[in-house]
Amino acid sequence: MELPTSPGFSLAGKTALVTGAGRGIGLACAAALAEMGAEVVLAARTETEITDAANAIVARGQKARAIVLDVSDLAGAKAAIAQAGPFDVLINNAGTNRPMPMQDVAEDDYDAVLDLNLKSAFFVAQAVAQGLIAAGKPGSLIHMSSQMGHVGGPNRSLYCASKWAIEGMSKSFALDLAAHGIRSNTIAPTFIETPMTKPFFQDQAFLDSVLAKIKLGRLGQVQDLMGAVQYLASDASALVTGTSLVVDGGWTVE
């Protein structure tokens, strides 16, 4: 009997771009891809963070380099991606949030969240896709969404708007790019404990409300996303496009 062989999670020979890669989720994504053999390009606005992160990856015998990239500078980002690419894998991770009741949202708040979370993400993905198409290469676009792209949440109107839009955007990308062998998917995490989010969890009432919704009873850690990133980036998910991998501990089950 001849048994089938798994495609595996190897990313040897692949080049990956990770935006917002200096810390937290972005850094974990970069580390996950490097573990599987990819050459990882870490991008963010803060040069010291991404340089230190790239050096740490290289120090453990893996491949990484850093580029200073402000994804909100659309023309600058497009030029930088064209110069550094083509990229076989994109982790479209840069984002922000301004939690507040919808009645308190100002135009500046709207622009800050939607411009970074949606507009910049769209044109970063476009630049990566254009590079792949020009090179005649397949690829995997992975957009960091959220469980809040599948449900609503108090004080999250802007964030939910941006992440629901990311979900729809990714599905349409999947249709537009399928003929080129380029896949588009999202990862939708629950609340992940990072240096940025940790202060919020010092509010016991807020922490209790979050844990009451996460059926597995704990906050997410960046390590919880690393396997999802490796899966969607690799040939193990070769037939997966236009979907969302929800890593939420059961938040959206009911």
Would you please indicate which residues are annotated as catalytic (active-site) residues? 159
Amino acid found at 190:
T
CA–CA separation, 84 and 94 (whole Å): 18
CA–CA separation, 173 and 42 (whole Å): 23
Give the tokens for residue 70.
């402000």
DSSP category for residue 2? P
Q: How far is CA 194 from CA 25, 207, 225, in A?
A: 7, 14, 12
Residue 58 burial (C-beta neighbours within 10 Å; 0-12, 13-18, 19+): middle
CA–CA separation, 102 and 245 (whole Å): 28
Amino acid found at 127:
A
Query: Coil, strand or helix: which one is 139?
Result: strand
CA–CA separation, 119 and 14 (whole Å): 26
Give the tokens for residue 16.
């990956």
The total number of residues shown for the chain amounts to 254
